[in-house]
Amino acid sequence: MDKILVHGGRRLSGSVRISGSKNSALPILAATLLTAEPCVIHCVPDLSDIHYMLQILSHLGAQVERASGTVTVQADKIKTVAPYEIVRKMRASVCVLGPLLGRHREAKVSLPGGCVIGDRPIDLHLRGFRALNAACRVEAGDVKVFADELRGSTMNLEGKQGPTVLGTDNIMMAATLAEGVTVIEGAAAEPEVVDLANFLIKMGAKIEGAGTRRISIEGVKQLHGTEHSVIPDRIEAGTFLVAAALAGTEVTLRRVNPDHLFSISNALKEAGFILEIQRDQITLRSNGGVRPLELITEPYPGFPTDMQAQMCALLNRANGVSRVTETVFPQRFMHISELKRMGASIELEGATAIIHGATELSGAPVMASDLRASAALVLAGLVAEGVTEVNRVYHIDRGYESIDEKLAGLGAHIERVKEPRPR
């Protein structure tokens, strides 16, 4: 099992190119199941989650080719069953339910795995499928959905912690081939949902309102193949902005969409950093100390939950006390105990982390608990004294393409090592 060693104390400078969005690419790849014609997807990141999705598509019978960030999928003959051994490693595998139901009116998919960041049920997905006239059952760990015909209707997908992104994706995909008009109230407005909608529109779908809380889908008889480029990953971009804020002098992010990073950029400006924003790149410069913040995670366009752990690492350097409240996944604080192992002074009060800044960090062996927590520990290691050993880095490989190589390209002393297997 790989681990990452971060030798603290190096300053970062230069530029880094941001990869395609994982959270766009996964549902877009699933959406290729909606047509028998070839689809060509560009800017697909090289991630373990992407590998798992391509395995799922292949298992379902699709022909999959991959070369240099471009994936071609032709799903002319497909099965409708995805068993546990295929989907267990990735929560996003649930997004094949929508396209399979839309195209074949039935699907059986095992309940998926993924990061351990609290309860993430799929009840909102099932609510949406039922509104489309599908029957839904959960039996022996499998989700079964089926319908004689899919009929458009109006539904609300707002949950206790806000809209569901994958649920919005799933219902939008199924509804493209339903009879009549489907209206999703309380829809997720994330850029990744918009990217999926744009891909579906290129396939011939009729969708309006993506990027708002109300999406309208008029069903069509069939969809066709198309070509599409995945948007830049705003969370990878945000992570490198925080890396630059922690340890950088001047760092430029290339191939970004600044509009998608508005809440992250604003938080960093409030913390005292200088950002130069251009059409498709952002440069961050250090401006002395870090100012403390009051942050609350919210659904887009609010501050993203996927950046909460990284900001906790940064605010440990602030001159004062910061408060970070998690409203999307209130249990998503497993990184706190690991940061404290490195010397951070953080208290948890319910779903709020109280961070006493200006503490010096020391390198230590730490354990990654989930994707974004692992990134936060690597970032903390950039400014810790000595060596930080981040274990279970398979989490980070789920969502960051070559993060160690990209950080090394900016000047970090970072290495990936393989632990010997026990005899």
- Cis peptide leading into residue 163 (ω within 30°): no
Q: Fill in the DSSP letter of residue 92.
A: G
Torsion sign over Cα 34, 37, 38, 40: negative
Active site annotation includes 115: yes
> Distance between CA 99 and CA 53 in Å, rounded?
14
The secondary structure of 350-374 as a DSSP string is: TTEEEEE-SPPPB--EEE--SHHHH
Tokens of 37: 């014609």
Please tell me the distance from the alpha carbon of residue 163 to that of residue 128, in angstroms, as a whole number: 12
In 3D space, the residue among 161, 150, 103 whose CA is nearest the CA of residue 128 turns out to be 150
DSSP 3-state of 267: helix
Contacts (Cβ under 8 Å, ≥6 apart) of 249: 11, 12, 13, 285, 286
Rounded CA-CA distance 252/244 in Å is 9
Residue 200: φ, ψ to 5°: -65, -40
Exactly one of 39, 43, 115, 136 is catalytic; which is it? Answer: 115
Q: If residue 229 lies in a helix (H) or strand (E), which one and from where to where?
A: strand 227-229
- Cα separation, 278 vs 137, whole angstroms: 49
Q: Do the beta carbons of residue 172 and residue 196 sit within 8 Å?
A: yes
Greatest C-alpha distance within the chain: 64
Q: Which residues belong to the active site?
A: 115
